[in-house]
Amino acid sequence: MSYYGERFEHLDECDECRAELGRIAEVLDRVEAPEVPEPDADYESRVWQRLSWRLRGEKRGRPPLTRWIAAAAVFATAFFAGLLWNKNANRQAVQPAGIAATATPAAAQPASTSNQQQRDRILLVVVSDHFDQSERILVELTNLKPQEGADITAERQRAQGLLASNRLYRRTAEGRGEESVATLLDELEPVLLQIAHSPSRASAEEIRAIQKRVEAKGLVLKLRVVRADVRAKSTTNPQQPNV
């Protein structure tokens, strides 16, 4: 950075580093920069095409390879979690060990159990998404600098949007015996309420109060931990390959 003009006081005092910089500069001086190609005629329109759907919040165009890689990571985690889950389940049922024997065919399970598992998975997947959205709001707010207050209209609206789902999911999780999920949703609810009922232009004090609350309860960490558990649990049976 110093070579490109940025100033570092340390260099004024340290002979060794100054000498090292001199060596690096000597090399860089003699390096021929790679040619930067001129963009082609429709470059701008291509860039705009790639960006515009994001601005509109719509899905458009080919997804980048990174999306597939991210999907692969999720799938891999889910797949192995599924194997592990099934392995444990099979051990309990005193069935033959080994990965090949772990996949219990859905057809072999009682229909009611299978249906119940399917409903559980849907619950856990939607809750995982809900935790994800909640975490984004909380991270946004905890990173605000409260000194002068801030416009939190967007976070407020998002919190309002999440409240009804939070209640619905909490009640379902309670009924389903998903205690860790229900407890976290229960802890999350007052915070979402507080954000949803804050003024759009929150004062420094209001922002500090929200931040203090989120931090004192360790909510962001809890959301991450429980979400990871939930993801692993939610992707058990359906990942049994059918070929």
One residue of 9, 12, 13, 205 binding another protein per CB under 8 A: 205
State the Cα–Cα distance between residues 43 and 39, nearest whole angstrom. Answer: 6
Q: Which stretch binds another protein (CB under 8 A): 2-10, 40-48, 144-152, 193-201?
A: 193-201
Question: In the bound complex, what is the minimum distance in angstroms from residue 54's beta carbon to another protein?
Answer: 17
E strands, 72-222, in order: 150-151, 201-202
By the rule CB under 8 A, 213 interacts with another protein: yes
By the rule CB under 8 A, 112 interacts with another protein: yes
Q: Which stretch binds another protein (CB under 8 A): 9-17, 28-36, 142-150, 225-233?
A: 28-36
Question: In the bound complex, what is the minimum distance in angstroms from residue 116's beta carbon to another protein?
Answer: 8
Q: Under a CB-based contact definition with an 8 Å cutoff, are residues 166 and 130 in contact?
A: yes
Per DSSP, the residues of 1-38 read -TTTT---HHHHH-HHHHHHHHHHHHHHHHPPPPPPPP
Give CA separation, 60 vs 46, 55, 65, 133, 241, in Å. Answer: 13, 11, 15, 22, 30
Q: Which stretch binds another protein (CB under 8 A): 39-47, 115-123, 146-154, 223-231?
A: 115-123
3-state secondary structure of 149: coil
State the Cα–Cα distance between residues 238 and 227, nearest whole angstrom. Answer: 18
- Contacting residues toward another protein, per CB under 8 A: 23-24, 26-28, 30-32, 34, 59, 62, 65, 68-69, 71-72, 75-76, 79, 106-107, 112, 114-116, 118-119, 121-123, 125-126, 161, 163-165, 167-169, 171-172, 175, 190, 193-194, 197, 205, 209, 213, 216-217, 234-235, 237-243
